[in-house]
Amino acid sequence: MERIRTIIVDDEPLARERIRTLLGQEEDFEILAECENGNEAIDAIGRFAPDLVFLDVQMPAVDGFDVLAALDQERLPSVVFVTAYDQYAVKAFEVHALDYLLKPFDAGRFSTALDRARQRVEQVRAGRARSELVGLINEMKTARRAQEKLLVKTEGKVIFVPTDQIVWIEAAGNYVRIHTRDDLYLMRETMSGMERRLPLDRFVRIHRSTMVNFDDIKELLPTFNNEFMVVLTQGEKLKLSRKYRPDLERRLGKSL
């Protein structure tokens, strides 16, 4: 039996341990390496040429899509993406018929992913598979370029606001207030429209009228009835609603 040579890539030690433990119960999988960041992953994949990679989507500096873009596009491995929150990416995976695990996943869902991975690797080895990853990589490159800056019309001008400078956004009637690190902008748009405009790997909706930059969340303060206030790096305290709490929990990879 030819074993499926596998690499695990995730910046969270517990996530790597979870995958390692579940794979350890399967005789036909061999773990070649574990990587805790994107640069390690690029090096390990190039060195070992694995059949399969469990690839975390969101990692600091070099994320999962950066890893794929850096690889030889003619020799891409089969990939099972692991994500806690990335709604845009999940939709892209489904469009391109690629498998993913949404954190936190159970043993049953992991087993399903392994069955699909076995079929995929068998097809690749038999020369019957084409790489859907190439289409995904191109799509994500285009989406990221479009999401790097937000065009805001104000006082007769069009201002390019870098999305990484946006701290939080709140609804204001038919407008939204965009709070950046240094300024405040008023834009005619809905919150749903903002969700479509902004990179969902960076922003998370915490209330029907509020969206925040995940990197600007400083802490979560419990209030009463098991509810929380989201405290941002610039001091704002915003309510986390029950409806959107699961979105934040998926982003955190744990329950509150």
Which pLDDT score, from 0 to 100, does residue 123 have?
Answer: 85
What is the CATH topology of the domain spanning 4-144? Rossmann fold (3.40.50)
Give per-residue pLDDT as tens, 187-220: 888 888 787 778 767 888 999 999 999 999 999 9
Which pLDDT score, from 0 to 100, does residue 217 have?
Answer: 94
Residue 164: phi and psi, rounded to 5, are -75, -5
Tokens of 16: 């790597």
Residue ranges of the chain that CATH labels 3.40.50.2300: 4-144
Which pLDDT score, from 0 to 100, does residue 130 have?
Answer: 61
Give per-residue pLDDT as tens, 3-38: 999 999 999 999 999 999 999 999 999 999 999 999
Which pLDDT score, from 0 to 100, does residue 200 have?
Answer: 67
What is the CATH topology of the domain spanning 148-252? OB fold (Dihydrolipoamide Acetyltransferase, E2P) (2.40.50)
Q: How far is the first Cα of the chain from the last one, in angstroms, to the nearest whole number?
A: 44
Residue ranges of the chain that CATH labels 2.40.50.1020: 148-252
Which pLDDT score, from 0 to 100, does residue 125 have?
Answer: 84
Low-confidence ranges of the chain (pLDDT < 70): 85-89, 92, 95-97, 128-131, 141-147, 200
Closest Cα to residue 14, out of 57, 51, 56? 56
Which pLDDT score, from 0 to 100, does residue 95 have?
Answer: 64
Which pLDDT score, from 0 to 100, does residue 143 have?
Answer: 64
Tokens of 239: 């309510």
- Cis amide bond preceding 199, omega within 30: no
In whole angstroms, what is the distance from residue 14 CA to residue 127 CA?
Answer: 35
